[in-house]
Amino acid sequence: MMVLLSLLTLWGCSDRGRETKLWSNLCTGCHDGRTAPTAGRIREKYRSIGEFSVAVGSRGHRCMEILKNDDALIRKVGLEIGLRDRQ
């Protein structure tokens, strides 16, 4: 499982040639695996950007309020952590 996750992470990064900047700047403060789930856990749970944005809107913490109306940002973060953009 760890190997698979690492591969997915590597693929996610190399695919767009940059680091997970938005995710690490905006989300890892809480999404550290203690307060809230890590990117890996979220990737296991949500298969597409669509499901992911629904989750951000409905399951998120009050502090994630700023995100909820920003579909473009949610989509970028989703792509960064390796979710697929299927509609």
**How far apart are alpha carbons 39 and 52 in whole angstroms?**
11
Which contacts (CB < 8 Å, 24+ apart) does range 65-69 have? Answer: 67/26
Q: How far is the CB of 85 from ligand HEC (least distance, A)?
A: 15
Q: Which 64-83 residues touch ligand HEC, going by CB under 6 A?
A: 64, 67, 77
Choice between 13 and 55, CB closer to ligand HEC:
55
Q: What is residue 64's DSSP assignment?
A: G
Q: Which 1-60 residues touch ligand HEC, going by CB under 6 A?
A: 26-27, 29-31, 35-37, 42, 45, 52, 55-56, 59-60
Choice between 12 and 31, CB closer to ligand HEC:
31
- 7: tokens are 């591969």
Burial 45-66 (b: 16+ CB within 10 A, else e): ebeebbebbeebeeeeeeebee
- Contacts with ligand HEC by CB under 6 A lie at 26-27, 29-31, 35-37, 42, 45, 52, 55-56, 59-61, 63-64, 67, 77
